[in-house]
């Protein structure tokens, strides 16, 4: 009877599952992590390891068989015993024992029991969480200069010029104009209004028809249409704010080339993988040999004062152990 399925289910709910006379599987918790070289974000997980010193039967595996296969506890213990004897015989015959979704168990060249775990996450809370790819953003010195200059530039605000049409559309002026037209167009209201005003006034001034002065409902000082256009134009010009010139970014002097090494590898596939990712980020890759290892770095052009900032940025986004090559 293969008990791998029962062992797997127990590992989701228990930190240790013992196979009597063989050893015990132990589940260890690992928090979420970020691999800067592979640019991967890993979710939290529980991985399994094997301890050959845990051989005492605690009855956990037998209880699981009793619950799911409806056997007596004695029959379940007998099934566990036969399963352990079969594993022991296979190991002594240099066979590899495969535990489904758990791992492989075998004797190595030194006759020591060795376990290779499977890539299974036994943390139920992390079920369905995938591994994510993350790509750091590396900005060069020209971007930093442009961003700093843009902070000092204020947008030009031009106020809208007020036209005669806008004034006529004003609701208050429309209402006043309607009342004035109603008064002038109705003789009864006009006569009642001005006759009442004449009766209440004890001092009536007689106006000579030959005099140059005359009575009017409009103000004595009027503004012609051409003058009003001139005034509106002058007001509009005063309200327009002058455009602020854009300052050209200054070019720093004393620029030098520096190389920041992200890692040294003995395998060419690791060199190619990291170089490909750096080129994808539009970085100038520098490859050199030192002490039998291939160094992979980036070449950065900056001043001596900016070098520290560039090095800290590379360490924070690529490899915290990156170092500078003079």
- Complete DSSP assignment for 203-228: -PPP--TTSS----SS-SS---HHHH
Please report where in the chains the tokens 């758990």 appear, as a residue.
102
Round to whole Å and give the CA distance between 163 and 68: 88
Give the pLDDT mean for 259-286. 88
* CATH architecture designation of domain 256-325: 2-Layer Sandwich (3.30)
What residues form DSSP beta bridges with 51? 24
Q: Which residue ranges make up each domain of the chain?
A: 4-133, 154-196+226-245, 256-325
Bridging pattern class, strands 132-133 and 256-265: unpaired
The tens digit of pLDDT for each residue in 8-19 reads 999 998 999 999
pLDDT in tens, 152-172: 555 555 455 555 555 555 555
- Decide: 197 and 190 in contact? Cβ < 8 Å: no
Interior angle at CA 290, CA 288 and CA 293, nearest 5: 90
pLDDT: is 32 or 246 the higher one?
Answer: 32
Q: Using alpha carbons, select from 18, 89, 25 the residue that is nearest to residue 59.
A: 18
Judge contact between 260 and 297, C-beta under 8 A: yes
With beta carbons less than 8 A apart as the criterion, state whether 244 and 238 touch.
no
Please report which helix (H) or strand (E) contains residue 264, including its range: strand 256-265
Q: How far is CA 232 from CA 167, 170, 212, 224, 228, in A?
A: 12, 17, 32, 12, 6
The Cα–Cα gap between 160 and 239 comes to 9
Q: What is the pLDDT of residues 66-116, one digit of tens each?
A: 888 888 989 999 999 999 999 999 998 989 999 989 999 999 888 888 999
């Amino acid at each position: 009877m293969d008990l791998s399925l029962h062992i797997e289910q127990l590992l989701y709910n228990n930190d240790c599952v013992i196979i009597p006379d063989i050893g015990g599987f132990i589940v260890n918790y690992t928090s979420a992590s970020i691999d800067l070289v592979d640019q991967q974000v890993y979710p939290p997980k529980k991985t399994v390891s094997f301890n050959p010193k845990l051989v005492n039967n605690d009855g956990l595996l037998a209880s699981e068989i009793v619950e799911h296969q409806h056997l007596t506890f004695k029959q379940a213990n007998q099934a566990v015993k036969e399963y352990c004897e079969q594993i022991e015989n296979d190991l002594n015959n240099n066979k590899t024992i495969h535990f489904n979704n758990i791992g492989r168990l075998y004797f190595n060249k030194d006759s020591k029991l060795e376990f290779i775990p499977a890539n299974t996450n036994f943390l139920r809370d992390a079920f369905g969480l995938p591994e994510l790819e993350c790509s750091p953003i590396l900005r060069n010195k020209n971007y930093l200069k442009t961003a700093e200059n843009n902070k000092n530039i204020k947008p030009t605000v031009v106020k809208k010029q007020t036209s005669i049409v806008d004034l006529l559309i004003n609701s208050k002026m429309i209402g006043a104009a309607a009342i004035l037209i109603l008064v002038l167009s109705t003789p009864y209201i006009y006569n009642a209004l001005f006759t009442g005003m004449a009766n209440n006034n004890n001092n009536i001034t007689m106006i000579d028809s030959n005099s140059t002065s005359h009575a009017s409902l409009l103000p004595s000082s009027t503004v012609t249409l051409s003058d009003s256009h001139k005034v509106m134009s002058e007001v509009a010009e005063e309200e327009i704010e002058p455009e602020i010139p854009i300052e050209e970014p200054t070019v720093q002097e004393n620029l030098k080339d520096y190389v920041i090494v992200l890692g040294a590898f003995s395998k060419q596939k690791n060199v190619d993988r990291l170089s490909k990712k750096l080129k994808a980020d539009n970085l100038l890759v520098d490859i050199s040999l030192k002490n039998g290892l291939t160094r992979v770095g980036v070449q950065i052009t900056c001043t001596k004062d900016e070098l520290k900032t560039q090095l800290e940025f590379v360490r924070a986004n690529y490899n915290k152990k990156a170092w500078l090559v003079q």
